[in-house]
Amino acid sequence: MLDRLAKRATLLSNNVLTVATDLVSYFHEPKKPSWDIRTTLLCSLLQALTSHGQLGELQIVRFFTSIPTIPPPFSCNIHEITFVAQYRSLPGILKELDETELNTREIQAEWIVDKSIGPMERILQSGNRSHVVDVVEDSSPRVILYAHGGAMVLMSTKTHRHLTHNISKHTGLPVFSNFIWRSHRLAPEHPFPAALHDIVLSFLHLIDKKDGYGYDAQNVMIMGDSAGGSLALSMMLYMRDHGLPLPGAASLLSPWVDLSMSHASWSNQKYDYLPLLTEDHPIHATKMYLGAHRYPYLITHPYVSPLYADNFDDLPPILLQAGGCECLHDEIQELATKIAQSNTYVQLEIYEDMIHVFQAFPFLKASKKALQSIGWWSMHAVNIIHKWQREVISLQRELERVKSLQIVT
């Protein structure tokens, strides 16, 4: 019996998660689009803009990047709210910031929902607690917490509304985002770990059954692009390290997980639009994020550059998407390799010839394929992975029980 249980547990651990991977690949295998004139023109335009970044100051760059690039369609419902940043008795690196909260600071946030999902009122009703989501038999995500990119110093939810709306449309889920310039604590005014603190507070607000929205933690999927993807992964590492609730899944779009910018794929600048931040660059995002007294000493801290975490065990399933020729390609590939060596499930999708956060440009064929894959991941793959992980854990516990009985006898 012992041998049979051990064999079955090993078989499931090694092979069963491949079922989810095969299903994702079968239904939404990323096609490999060729580099076309639209991608070339887009990249050339963005390269021209970023190459002149040294001519301006941060506030000027913020002004231009705060203008929404592609307005969301009429099928998008947007609801802006505020919630109070509560004292949460957070441990570790967030303890000092958390102790400054007097339950008076307000954080602006917004809900993005595709109208096909249903009326916004159904999600936001609070008078009779009808917005509280009960834990259901399957563990598919019921809401998305989204952290937008912008190198920790730029952008807003408004610049990302078209992307977050498309995510809502393809996943069938409401998207909650609170990273709004002038409200969210961006660097350099609020250096690390302020951004980490805010995303932790946002997650806790979503799962707070008394003063928040009452979602079960397993029914929340965290998502983010670029620096927002890094922040999402840092949040999961922090929550795991301190025994706090974790979301049920994650989907990270071109996450910037190594703020030292030391990987070889940064030589892809002629194909991508990300500028390499030299030490004398006036808008050096990493310096601004860490602050003068912490740069460069904390640059490889796992909550700053999550690629350097000691391990990635016991995290929720993670979907990684990257462009084949983007500057972050190598660090995302290395991240996927490290996660694959842990007990955390990871799905890596590389889209050939694509640039950084290509999902934000809807005229690219690869963007539609990537969003379809995110939709399948959210609605089906996550639940399959959780189901089989529970089966593996159950078998492992039974194996340990039988072993202990044999020792006694």
CATH number at residue 322: 3.40.50.1820
Contact 223, 360 (CB under 8 A): no
Average pLDDT in the 25-46 region? Answer: 55
Using DSSP bridges, classify how beta strands 220-225 and 143-147 pair: parallel, antiparallel or unpaired: parallel
Q: Which residue segment(s) compose the domain that 94 sits in?
A: 2-408
Using DSSP bridges, classify how beta strands 76-84 and 318-323 pair: parallel, antiparallel or unpaired: unpaired
- Closest residue by Cα to residue 219 from 206, 205, 233, 236: 206
- Closest residue by Cα to residue 198 from 288, 294, 108, 325: 108
pLDDT at 262: 92
- Closest residue by Cα to residue 161 from 71, 227, 61, 232: 71
Contact 166, 362 (CB under 8 A): yes
d(CA 44, CA 305): 29
pLDDT greater at residue 138 or residue 383: 383
Which band of pLDDT confidence, cut at 50, 70 and 90, is reported for residue 6? low
pLDDT at 127: 35
pLDDT at 96: 95
pLDDT at 17: 46
- Closest residue by Cα to residue 298 from 244, 236, 234: 234
Using DSSP bridges, classify how beta strands 346-351 and 318-323 pair: parallel, antiparallel or unpaired: parallel
Tell me how many domains the chain contains: 1
Label residue 34 exposed, middle or buried (CB < 10 Å: 0-12, 13-18, 19+).
exposed
Other C-beta atoms lying within 10 Å of the C-beta of residue 21: 16
| Global pTM value | 0.84
Contact 206, 212 (CB under 8 A): yes
Q: What's the mean per-residue pLDDT of the chain?
A: 81
Average pLDDT in the 189-217 region? Answer: 91
Helix, strand, or coil here: 82?
Answer: strand
pLDDT tens digits, residue range 43-95?
Answer: 666 666 666 655 556 666 666 666 655 677 788 999 888 899 999 999 999 99
pLDDT tens digits, residue range 214-268?
Answer: 889 999 999 999 999 999 999 999 999 999 999 999 999 999 999 999 999 989 8
d(CA 312, CA 289): 24
pLDDT at 188: 73
Whether the per-residue pLDDT at 287 is higher than 80: the answer is yes
